[in-house]
């Protein structure tokens, strides 16, 4: 059971928008920055969003992040088949003194 809760799967058609949620508590999301990671099949995770809503260079603006209270969301617009991957949220948990990840969300682009 992960400390951060994500839906196991989401799906949408090409060109559409999808939102992936990440729910936590005051000891993690509520008081720390959230980051998001994309893991394409058979590859290592890649940083998509840091400090809640910032994109590293090279990440398209189709990917955006936000945070409100103890929850965070990742939005992906203009879906492409190449976006099919697992997506993870992560943050520091001040009570556990540990970094925590969500269980991951598998995105299918129908």
Partner 1 sequence: QVQLVESGGGLVKPGGSLRLSCAASGFTFSDYYMSWIRQAPGKGLEWVSYISSSGTTVYYADSVKGRFTISRDNAKNSLYLQLSSLRAEDTAVYYCARETAYSYGPWGEGTLVTVSS
Which is closer to partner 1, CB of 18 or CB of 102? 102
Least separation in angstroms between residue 93's CB and partner 1 is: 10
- Tell me how long the chain is: 110
- How far is C-alpha 73 from the chain's CA centre? 7
Q: By C-beta, is 19 or 33 nearer to partner 1? A: 33
C-beta of 81 vs 97, nearer to partner 1: 97
Least distance in angstroms from the C-beta of 88 to partner 1: 5
For the stretch 72-104, what's the b/e string if a residue is b when 16 or more beta carbons lie within 10 angstroms of its beta carbon? bbbebeebeeebebbbbbbbbbeeeeeebbbbb
Please report, as ranges, the residues that interact with partner 1 according to CB under 8 A. Answer: 2, 32-33, 35, 37, 39, 43-47, 49-51, 54, 56, 86, 88, 90-92, 96-104
Q: How far is CA 35 from CA 26, 66, 93, 110, in A?
A: 16, 10, 13, 26
Distance of closest approach, residue 15 Cβ to partner 1, in angstroms = 28
CB of 62 to partner 1, least distance (A): 18
């Amino acid at each position: 059971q992960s400390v951060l809760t994500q839906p196991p799967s989401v799906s949408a058609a090409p060109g559409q928008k999808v939102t992936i949620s990440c729910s936590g508590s005051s000891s993690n999301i509520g008081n720390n920055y959230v980051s998001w990671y994309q893991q394409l099949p058979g590859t290592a995770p890649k940083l998509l969003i840091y400090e809640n809503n910032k994109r590293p260079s090279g990440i398209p603006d189709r990917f955006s992040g936000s945070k409100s209270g103890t929850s965070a969301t990742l939005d992906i617009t203009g879906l492409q088949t190449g976006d099919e991957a697992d997506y993870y949220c992560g943050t520091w948990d001040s009570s556990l003194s540990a970094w925590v990840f969500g269980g991951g969300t598998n995105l299918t682009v129908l």
